[in-house]
Amino acid sequence: DVKVTQSSRYLVKRTGEKVFLECVQDMDHENMFWYRQDPGLGLRLIYFSYDVKMKEKGDIPEGYSVSREKKERFSLILESASTNQTSMYLCASSLGRDLDNQPQHFGDGTRLSIL
Amino acid sequence: DQQVKQNSPSLSVQEGRISILNCDYTNSMFDYFLWYKKYPAEGPTFLISISSIKDKNEDGRFTVFLNKSAKHLSLHIVPSQPGDSAVYFCAASPYNNNDMRFGAGTRLTVKP
């Protein structure tokens, strides 16, 4: 079974802080994704990555950046946290860019509160 | 703009009956559709999928139907069980899944 592990289940930070959310997958997947989940809005894609050091913007990249230095690890960075970034953050991975029709596998999420 | 819409935020069904969850999409480039199930405090788990070349896919108690002309898909759960109570997300993507879009979710409650 694919295991996607997010380093923190709950996190509380203050406005203006730089926040790091970490995600690790153990199945040698090429693709990794960061979403946020908000009530009534479903999951919205922030950033994704096809490969090491590659990144692509999703629908809502403003205020975020990402880092993928190793294939198994994908970090989401809030450069200067704001209260509207309080949300549930979900990391996902999938097998490979050139393979069609693959589901994404999700971690258990990080509930981030910005005070 | 929400390209994938789940218009029912919640659904309540009696145990043993059929649950039908609906999903509409607007992007005609979508050709791969999925349903995910999410329990509280857990990430979404993949449930079932269907590609645009099919109109039905079945896996045990779960069946997904796709109506491409109406841009509509549905998930049928028969018979429904209390353990099926969760939030169900519909998702869709074009040729590769890197641009997957999710609906807002439908909370299913199956009453014993």
Contacts of A34 in chain B (CB under 8 A): none
Beta partners for residue B10, in sequence order? B107
C-alpha span between A13 and A86 (Å, rounded)? 9
What's the token pair of residue A67? 């880092």
8 Å CB contact between A80 and A16: yes
Q: Please tell me the distance in Å from B96's CA to the nearest CA on chain A.
A: 5
Question: Helices (H), strands (E): how many in chain A?
Answer: 0, 11
Interface of chain B toward chain A, CB-CB under 8 angstroms: 2, 4, 6, 9, 32, 34, 36, 41-46, 49, 51, 89, 91, 95-105
H-assigned helices in A1-115: none
Averaged over A11-27, what is the pLDDT? 96
C-alpha span between B98 and A45 (Å, rounded)? 10
C-alpha span between A103 and A114 (Å, rounded)? 31
Element (H, E) at A71: none
CA-wise closest residue to A94 among B98, B52, B48: B98
Contacts of B42 in chain A (CB under 8 A): 108-109
Per-residue pLDDT reduced to its tens digit, A70-109: 999 999 999 999 999 999 999 999 887 666 667 889 999 9
- The DSSP call for residue B44 is -
Q: Please tell me the distance in Å from B22's CA to the nearest CA on chain A.
A: 15
Contacts of B6 in chain A (CB under 8 A): 42
C-alpha span between B39 and B47 (Å, rounded)? 12
Cα dihedral sign, A52-A53-A54-A57: positive
CB contact under 8 A, A50 and B96: no
**Three-state DSSP state, A83:** helix
8 Å CB contact between A39 and A57: no
Contacts of B7 in chain A (CB under 8 A): none
C-alpha span between B26 and B74 (Å, rounded)? 15
Averaged over B43-70, what is the pLDDT? 95
Per DSSP, which regions of A55-109 are E strands?
56-57, 64-70, 73-78, 87-94, 105-106
Per-residue pLDDT reduced to its tens digit, A26-58: 988 999 999 999 988 889 999 999 889 999 999
CA-wise closest residue to A77 among A13, A22, A6, A5: A22
pLDDT of res. A89: 97
Identify which has the larger pLDDT, B80 or A59: B80
8 Å CB contact between A78 and A63: yes
- Judge residue B112's burial from the number of C-beta atoms within 10 Å of its C-beta, 0-12 exposed, 13-18 middle, 19 or more buried: exposed
Per-residue pLDDT reduced to its tens digit, B14-47: 999 999 999 999 999 898 999 999 998 889 999 9
| Closest chain A residue by Cα to residue B34 | A103
Q: Please tell me the distance in Å from A7's CA to the nearest CA on chain B.
A: 13
